[in-house]
Amino acid sequence: MLRSVFAKTLRDARRGVLWWSLGLAGLAAMMVAVYPSVRDNPSLDKLLESYPEALRGVIGFGGELDYSSGAGYLGIELFSFMVPLLLIVVTVAAGAGAVAGEEERGTLDLLLSTPVSRRRLVVEKLGALVVEVVVLGAVLWLALVVGSNAGDLGVSAAHLGAATAGAVLLALGFGTIALLVGAASGRRSRAIAVAAAGAVAAYLVDSLASLSSVLEALQPASPFYHYSASDPLRHGLQAEHAAFLVAVVVAAAVLAVVAVERRDFRT
Amino acid sequence: MYGRQTGVRELTFAVGPGEVFGFLGPNGAGKTTTIRLMLDLIRPTSGRLEIFGLDARTESVEIRQRTGYVPGDLRLYDRLTGRELLEFLAHLRGVRHLRYAEELAERLGLGLDRPIHALSKGNRQKVGLVQAFMHRPELLVLDEPTAGLDPLVQQVFYDLVGEAAAEGRTVFLSSHVLSEVQHIAGRVAVVREGLLVLVDEIESLRERAATRVEATFEEAPPPGAFADVAGVTEVERRGPTVVYSLRGPADPLVKALARYRVLGLDSHEADLEDVFVGLYRGEDAA
């Protein structure tokens, strides 16, 4: 577990990943357990219909809003907000600390006195970040697949996988932006602030797009739009939307390498 | 501290293989800045730094492969044990086993099985030394390496430096006190406010330093009585006792003293620390 920067970073994260995994699996189990009572209550769908357009945008996850299907239920309760929120929190915290955490604690001097290039440092830190989030996504997906079968939600493993993969890519985008800002500034707090502000802005642009033509024009630039646009729980994640989310990660990663190459690290 | 300020302005010197080179200066003189330039942790706005004939900026990875480093402000991974930290760094440096590291730890009296956060400052410093020496690097860059070490352990450290030099490896040793390096370094550079004050052999520095001669007279000669005597300046006067500083041969002072009744005479060997205090302040030693 101490063979490389990548392996050590994962080792350092193992406890956090374990607790987050339990939390996400617990959340999925709880939501699935509640589903039968929601499904059998037709007044909830009537309530949804009465919601104003803006609110429907906020709670929706791509497709039709309904509580009477498993896909509709999971979209509203988990994927429209809770799952991306939690994954973004974990990923942004880890990304912000990836390089800036080492610099702030002063361990970067020791680490970079070994023959590890700055580029390799960023790549291995990003690699560890990817593995962490993918593990969390996989745990969540497994919990949902098991729960969906047990609770008869009628959402296929593939569609659950598409929605979860979208959430993982979405979170990685903001996590990589946090890594970039941390690597460029050497400050974790700044990295968290910028990435969190970006995530909130992207979320609001996408959710409230129906309210104004300006927001509507901006909507295709929001990762949240691409995360939900293809209604993944019913139709899977379309390649073009996935490509946008991957592009955000790649662009932030490239910028992080460029930025870290120009730094004078602080003691 | 570094930011946009200039830490180092003008430093030109060369260090040869097998040399123990002392890098001296008061705190804030630019020693750590220079060392961090050597490791490419910071980049020079202008100028050039070569190590092993390689460019410190563009060929840093290869330089670091052949270098061991103890940072001035040593921070370790607190959650790892000493052994785990050494394992990690050994992997990054391509060192296959910890045999030599364990030998070093034993010589320094360091246990490797406790988590680093539970270690004293001195023991952490030992971990820093072990990781710098464990791959037998061609160049050791040590920034204030004896900080926190007790005298016995310091002696072990001096032995390690001596052995490294005997094997033809180069040791670059920074300190703000001369006594730390004067017994092991062949040459020293002195920096002050980012500028090089001097580069010289320790031995010739010693020659440049003044001897203190303390003479107690029955009746002290009037101030300025020795003003014409070559190499002699009066430093201090306490009643019948006068302290002179002497550079060069003692003969002129002895002849001059002979004209008076001298009750006591005492002389101290050249004190290098005094030379350095002078250099730090910006006075010329010569």
* A209-224 confidence digits (pLDDT tens): 988 999 999 999 999 9
Helix axes B151-166, B121-133, angle to 10 degrees: 10
Give yes or no for B76 touching A (CB within 8 A): yes
Residue A238 neighbours by CB distance under 10 Å: 16
Domain boundaries B20-205, CATH class: alpha beta
Give yes or no for A51 touching B (CB within 8 A): no
Domain boundaries B210-269, CATH class: alpha beta
Which residues in A lie closer than 8 A to residue B60 (C-beta atoms)?
A: 117
CB neighbour burial string for B229-250, b if at least 16 within 10 angstroms, e if fewer: bebbebeeeeeeebbbbbbeee
* B43-89 confidence digits (pLDDT tens): 988 888 889 999 999 999 999 999 999 999 999 999 999 999 999 99
Q: Pinpoint the residues of chain B covered by CATH 3.40.50.300.
A: 20-205
Of B41, B68, B72, the CB nearest to A112: B41
**Alpha helix locations (H) across B22-150?**
31-38, 60-65, 82-93, 99-108, 121-133
8 Å CB contact of A115 and B92: yes
* A69-104 confidence digits (pLDDT tens): 999 999 999 999 999 999 999 999 999 999 999 999
Which residues in A lie closer than 8 A to residue B94 (C-beta atoms)?
A: 115
Q: B24 forms bridges with which residues in the sheet?
A: B175, B190
**Bridging pattern class, strands B211-217 and B262-268:** antiparallel
CB-defined contacts A:B, below 8 A:
78
Query: What is the ipTM, given to two decimal places?
Result: 0.92
B111 to chain A, minimum CA–CA distance in Å? 20
Q: Pinpoint the residues of chain B covered by CATH 3.30.70.
A: 210-269
Give yes or no for B64 touching A (CB within 8 A): yes
8 Å CB contact of A267 and B93: no
A2 — pLDDT class (breaks 50, 70, 90): very high
Mutation pick from A99, A264, A265, A266 vs chain B, by most beta carbons of B within 10 Å, is A264
Of A2, A5, A109, the CB nearest to B84: A2
8 Å CB contact of B41 and A8: no
Cβ atoms A215, A131 nearer than 8 A: no
Residue B279 neighbours by CB distance under 10 Å: 21
pLDDT value for B59:
96
Quick one: tokens of A231? Answer: 């209604």
Of A3, A117, A265, the CB nearest to B91: A3
* A107-145 confidence digits (pLDDT tens): 999 999 999 999 999 999 999 999 999 999 999 999 999
Quick one: tokens of B236? Answer: 């201090």
